[in-house]
Structure 1
Amino acid sequence: MEDTKWRATTRVLPACRDSRRLSPLSPLQAFDLVPDREAGSSSLVIGGKPVPVRFPGVSLTAQFQCGEGYLLLTTADSPFEESLYAILLGMPTEILDVVELSNPYTPAALTDLEIVSDNSLEFSFFGRDRWRLSVSERPQWRFSLPIFSPVKRKTGFSRRYLRLHAV
């Protein structure tokens, strides 16, 4: 993923928090995408109206409400070198965090997706592997370097709400 292409906002917002407690993830069917397959990205559509935000992926595979925010899972829709993107939106026009799961020249498909706690999902992507995606109520500052890992992020020091790791 290019460093400058998908910049998340640095504003701190309560992603999965209401005024009293962490709000659980709940499935949702509120969004659609207008894909731009050449660019490998999409625009968001809410209630039939386009929203001026672009993010990676061309196929919307799952969507969840998370307190005041939304968690979208999109894919590149490429069966021979698939990528999964988890996008956390604070509001429909504000990208809080993006994390990518992919391996070069590796086929993949999102399967066995399930909510395992108030703020976590588990799924398989590269066959029989298991991955956990968690949403933090507060962002954490982390430093990323481009390493040989299937989990990819913007390089550098940034705030993160999303944590993706193998189980």
Structure 2
Amino acid sequence: MNNLTDKNFGLVIAYLVPGFIAICGASFQSPTIKSWIAGDGGVSVGGFLYSSLAAIFVGLLSSTVRWLVLDRINEWTGIIRPNWDFSRLQANSEAFTLLNENQYRYYQFYGNSLFAWLFAYGCWRTAYLVSWPAWPDVGALAISSLLFLGSRDTLRKYYERLDLLLNQKLTGLVIASPFNLPK
């Protein structure tokens, strides 16, 4: 079995974790999903498989919602994708891959998790009706705000760093960390 690498770690945080957040929320509404996550006698192999496949599906679905909603909001509010010169991509393919795995995957995590979190919170909120507003609502708003702001910041930095890489005649750039580029 392969070890967890940068590439599959990026996929786990971009899709599987947000999907699992939504699946956990759905468990408040569905006894079947609840049994996948925590069956009566513990977690079963079948439950693990079902919940993993469902989390991947829901994570990809959440990514589609992120693309449809959050990417548009970011564009409308000033985070606009630059017009990149992809003819420079070949000379900088390793740096491009590192930027994607160390910057864009985190944008996907924050954005996908935002919509998964909102779904999960909605499932919880309808399952446990409490007086309005309640302290959990304040916490949910804080987490939602944090995910939204984190997504905006990572997308902006990704655009800026990729723009430096592709449009400013930087060749042979080696990126040890996404944090060593100019801000």
Superposition TM-score, scaled by structure 1 size = 0.23
Higher Cα radius of gyration: 2
**Larger helix share, 1 or 2:** 2
